[in-house]
Amino acid sequence: MNRPPDTPEPTVQRTVARVHVEPRRGATGGEVTVLTLDSGVEGPTLAVTANLHGDETTGVGVVRRLDAWLQAHPFRGRVVLYPSCNPQGLRAQTRHVPADELDVNRVFPGNARGSWAARIAAALWRDLSVRRPDVVIDLHADAPLSVPYVIIDRPVRKTGAARRRLAARLETLAEATGLTVLREYPDDVYVQFGLDRSLAGAVVNLLGVPAVTVEAGPRRYIDADAVDVALQAVLGVLAGAGAVDHPVAPHPTRVEGCWRRASTPRTRRGGLVEPIAQPGTRFVRGDVLAHVVALSGELTEQVVATEDGVLISWVEACWVAPGGLLGTLGVPDRERL
């Protein structure tokens, strides 16, 4: 950051707040911790959310590191941190909200009188909306056998020039992470899966604010290397938004290209999964991605790529049932975002 000579360093103001979650009748409420760091310098407002899925804990570590980084380095504007958006799920180490086993990341903007997951979403949405962020970064974790990547949501509720402008901004911020960039599923599948009601999807489609989802690290424990990777990705977005002077170099696993999120072909038979292709590698149609093997040692199936692409991650499982999906792919995306 450049400032005139003899200008004193601004003091970062750090505040801690609690977002109240409306209780159900006869039950106690809940709360979500929010940290706000104000640089004292004019600039954008950015929000970083973590741990919407309670067993995806890399983001919790990232928020802790980012909190310390912002107190030690100059930045512009304000950064709002949500260390855990699903504290009940964090304690139980489960993806869903334990009270009702629903995915809070599919019910935004929520309902203050609905399910517990919907009440959490409503409380988060109310707090986030009031803060009027310029950019939102949502932190998730995929699986141990995965490259880190960033997902761009589809602005399905925008049309014409408004959609093009928002899409361009999303692309720019995603590229700033230095990670492999995946656009979401095609519009119809995106809506079918309820991804427009994820936190990032709702921010993009209801608030018209760019939001990116960073997927880095394994679940259920905080891996220091994964935290480093995700922290650099977040700082890249902050730099792209004009909040810091900290450009990020491409991650070694980054695969250039215009990719869309897709799944592996479904298996026809169950068995042990033996991955062949490694995350981060490109493949072409007809390449064998994995073997499915019986306990007797018999090869029961070869999972073959149906189009060109790049392998992103393998599921966190060693056994697959008939009709199962084995992982996430990136395939060429020729459609408008």
Q: Answer whether the bond into residue 322 is a cis peptide, omega within 30°.
A: no
Token duo for residue 308: 């060109």
Q: Which CATH number is 259-332 given?
A: 2.40.50.100
Q: Are 276 and 288 within 8 A, CB to CB?
A: yes
Q: What is the pLDDT of residue 4?
A: 45
Same-fold call for 13-240 versus 259-332: no
Which single residue is written with the structure tokens 């609690």? 18
- pLDDT tens sequence across 312-322: 999 999 999 99
237 closest CA partner among 297, 151, 178, 321: 178
Q: Which two tokens stand for residue 83?
A: 């260390």
pTM of the predicted model as reported, rounded to 2 decimal places = 0.94
130 contact partners, CB below 8 Å, separation of at least 6: none
Q: pLDDT per residue over 218-243, tens digit each?
A: 999 999 999 999 999 999 999 999 99
Q: Mind listing the pLDDT tens digit for each residue in 190-211?
A: 999 999 999 999 999 999 999 9
pLDDT at 6 over 60: no
The residue that leads in pLDDT, 1 or 336, is 336
pLDDT tens column, 149-161:
999 999 999 999 9
pLDDT band at 247 (very low <50, low <70, confident <90, very high): confident
Token pair of 252 as six digits: 């070694």
116-157 pLDDT, tens digit each:
999 999 999 999 999 999 999 999 999 999 999 999 999 999
pLDDT attached to residue 32: 96
Domain boundaries 13-240, corresponding CATH code: 3.40.630.10
Q: At what angle do helices 160-175 and 224-240 cross, to 10 degrees?
A: 130
Banded pLDDT at 24 (limits 50, 70, 90): confident
